[in-house]
Amino acid sequence: MSGESTSRRNFLRQLSCALCAGGASTLLPQLNLISSALAQSTVPGYKALVCVYLSGGNDAWNLLVPYDQPRYDVYAESRSGVYNASSNPGGLAIPRTSLAGTQIAGGSYALHPSTVDRTGPNQPGIRSLYNQGKLTLVNNIGTLIQPITKAEYNANSALRPPQLYSHSDQENQWHIGRTTPSARGWGGLVADRVRTNNLNQELSPCISIGGGNRFEVGAQTFPYQMSSSGLSGLSGMTGTSSEGAARRGALQQLLDASYPSPYQDEYRRVFGRSRELYDLLNSGLATGGVGNVTTDFPNESLSNQLKMVARMIKLSRDTSFGVQHSRQVYYVRLGGFDMHDNLMSTGTSGHAAYITRVSQALGAFWSALGEIGAQNEVTTFTMSEFARTLSTNGNGSDHAWGSINMIMGGRVQGGQMYGSFPDQTLNGPVSLSRGQFIPSTSVDQMAATLANWMGVTSTTDLNTIFPNLPNFSSNNLGFMLS
């Protein structure tokens, strides 16, 4: 039974006693509050995190570009010159003329030209969301054990995160929020601590539309996996055919039976609960169900995943439906960012096309959150295992380290940047020979800021989830309002 339902029942019981005792004169003016409380259509105080994982290592240094001429010149030189398919096909710098109209931060920086608004549905792109104060950027962020200088990096390998340029290892460290092995992720550990007031405890607070992941695994929490098209029923069990009905009947007999073995009996209970959860969610996601949204999304994988997230958030917050979660963590994923080749391609496999997909997906998701009234209750953020080298490998770029993350939401202090934008000189004060930046901000600090917003406010809990967090000067970067 939910705490909200218990509180309502106790309130009504106490009200009845007061009326019988002659207290009506003082309580009647408050009766209008009862209908307001009972008519609450969404779960009060709802909050959700949505992780958008950009798999392969996003080339973040073309997402955000210094626009003032002196720093742009350093950027262009370090990126092996301005890309030109004929005269400089190995160049990775975006022409400065192409950045005109995408400037932010008073003209000091520009966003990738593909971050413009989506025409037709009139949905904001990344640049508009930033300018509207709904999206922020965290500069030069990456996996760290502790703050580290270039001299310390060169002198002591023990101060570096392990397997620094490995896709699988760096993805794992972003997911678990630590640089030592762990079977649990920081999203799941946050969910462990904030899921108490979720009404339907059978549905995990961690829901993945992007497949299996370590990020959402906690001590008591395991991700519930779905696809962007919804739930998959048992083969041969759906439909109205007599064969399907017979199979469903036979399965129900197995679930209704008792078993002498505790293992068989527990399997029966778990399987039965999963069937009940399937039936519940399937009804909410069906045509005409409470989980429908009308916002137009592009028909591509990331957008389709985020549309399903919006639908699940809608039905999860609805007090007329049987989920009624107050805290949730979602995970979606877009692969293809490992661009050792064709990074500057103008085709569908180039970085520009991928930034378009991300920008349009985030814009559509923001519009859908507005449709369901949840923009202030949902914070969306990107992660990627690392950025890419500034210098070219001839046709693309290779694995690097420090990167740039985006954070979007109604409670985000957007329209500004957090962390230090690095000097982009190759082999400069904070970079290695090919422009691999030593991060100035740790994953732990960003993640702890999000965890705090979700309700994990205890320093002890934060340091347990993120063991390296005490090594940094602050456990809150300040980009979230309460």
Reported pTM:
0.89
| Alpha-carbon gap, residue 251 to 237, rounded angstroms | 9
Q: Which of 91-105, 111-125, 271-285 has the lowest mean pLDDT?
A: 271-285
| Alpha-carbon gap, residue 225 to 203, rounded angstroms | 11
Provide the 10 A C-beta neighbour count for residue 77.
Answer: 16
In a domain, 108, yes or no: yes
How many Å separate Cα 352 from the centre of its chain? 21
Number of domains in the chain: 2
In a domain, 259, yes or no: no
| Token reading at 202 | 């059978």
- Top pLDDT among 24 and 443 is at 443
In a domain, 481, yes or no: no
Mean pLDDT of the chain: 91
Share of the chain above pLDDT 90, in %: 82
| Predicted pLDDT at 23 | 41
pLDDT, mean of residues 55-74 = 98
CATH number of the domain residue 135 falls in? 3.40.720
62, 175: one domain: yes
58, 167: one domain: yes
In a domain, 253, yes or no: no
15 has pLDDT over 80: no
187-234: pLDDT as tens digits: 999 999 999 999 999 999 999 999 999 999 999 999 999 999 999 776
28, 54: one domain: no
189, 221: one domain: yes
78 has pLDDT over 80: yes
> Is residue 190 packed enough to be buried (19+ CB in 10 Å), middle (13-18) or exposed (0-12)?
buried
In a domain, 409, yes or no: yes
In a domain, 140, yes or no: yes
| Predicted pLDDT at 4 | 45
Answer whether 341's CB lies under 8 Å from 89's CB: no
- Domain holding 68, by residue range, is 47-232+291-471
16 has pLDDT over 60: no
34-49: pLDDT as tens digits: 344 445 799 999 999 9
| Predicted pLDDT at 235 | 65
SS (HEC) of 286-301: CCCCCCCCCCCCCCCH
- Top pLDDT among 235 and 137 is at 137
Q: Which residues of 399-424 are buried (b: 16+ CB within 10 A; e: fewer)?
A: bbbbbbbbbbbbbbbbbebbbebbeb
28, 116: one domain: no
261 has pLDDT over 90: no
pLDDT, mean of residues 429-440 = 98
474 pLDDT band (50/70/90 cuts)? very high
| Alpha-carbon gap, residue 140 to 407, rounded angstroms | 14
19, 57: one domain: no
| Predicted pLDDT at 13 | 44
Map tokens 């160049």 to a residue. Answer: 91
29 has pLDDT over 60: no
Share of the chain above pLDDT 70, in %: 89
114, 10: one domain: no
162-174: pLDDT as tens digits: 999 999 999 999 9
52, 33: one domain: no
Identify the helix (H) or strand (E) that includes residue 140: strand 135-142
Answer whether 402's CB lies under 8 Å from 438's CB: yes
142, 71: one domain: yes
83, 199: one domain: yes
Q: Say which residues have a Cβ less than 8 Å from residue 326's Cβ, sequence separation at least 6.
A: 43, 44, 45, 46, 47, 194, 197, 198
In a domain, 187, yes or no: yes
199, 116: one domain: yes
| Predicted pLDDT at 436 | 98
In a domain, 392, yes or no: yes
27, 56: one domain: no
